[in-house]
Chains A and B, each alone.
Chain A
Amino acid sequence: GAVVSQHPSWVICKSGTSVKIECRSLDFQATTMFWYRQFPKQSLMLMATSNEGSKATYEQGVEKDKFLINHASLTLSTLTVTSAHPEDSSFYICSASAAGATDTQYFGPGTRLTVL
Chain B
Amino acid sequence: DAKTTQPNSMESNEEEPVHLPCNHSTISGTDYIHWYRQLPSQGPEYVIHGLTSNVNNRMASLAIAEDRKSSTLILHRATLRDAAVYYCILSRNSGYALNFGKGTSLLVTP
In the bound complex, what is the Cα–Cα distance between A101 and B49 (angstroms)? 14
Pick out which of these stretches binds chain A: B19-27, B70-78, B90-98. Answer: B90-98
Structural contact, B46 and A105, CB atoms closer than 8 A: yes
- Beta-carbon contacts under 8 Å, B69-105 to A: 87, 93-95, 97-103
Structural contact, A104 and B94, CB atoms closer than 8 A: yes
- Secondary structure of the A side of the interface? strand
Structural contact, A110 and B97, CB atoms closer than 8 A: no
B34 at the A interface (CB under 8 A): yes
- Secondary structure of the B side of the interface? loop
Structural contact, B94 and A44, CB atoms closer than 8 A: no
Q: In whole Å, how far is A108's beta carbon from the nearest beta carbon of chain B?
A: 5
Structural contact, B97 and A104, CB atoms closer than 8 A: no
In the bound complex, what is the Cα–Cα distance between A34 and B100 (angstroms)? 13
Structural contact, B44 and A98, CB atoms closer than 8 A: no
> Could you tell me how many residues of chain A have their Cβ less than 8 Å away from some Cβ of chain B?
28
In the bound complex, what is the Cα–Cα distance between A105 and B46 (angstroms)? 8
Name which residue of chain B comes closest to A111, CB basis: B43
> Inside 8 A of B15's CB, which chain A residues have their CB?
none
Q: Mark A92-112, 1 if CB is under 8 A from B, else 0.
A: 010101100111111111101
Structural contact, B98 and A95, CB atoms closer than 8 A: yes
> Inside 8 A of A108's CB, which chain B residues have their CB?
43
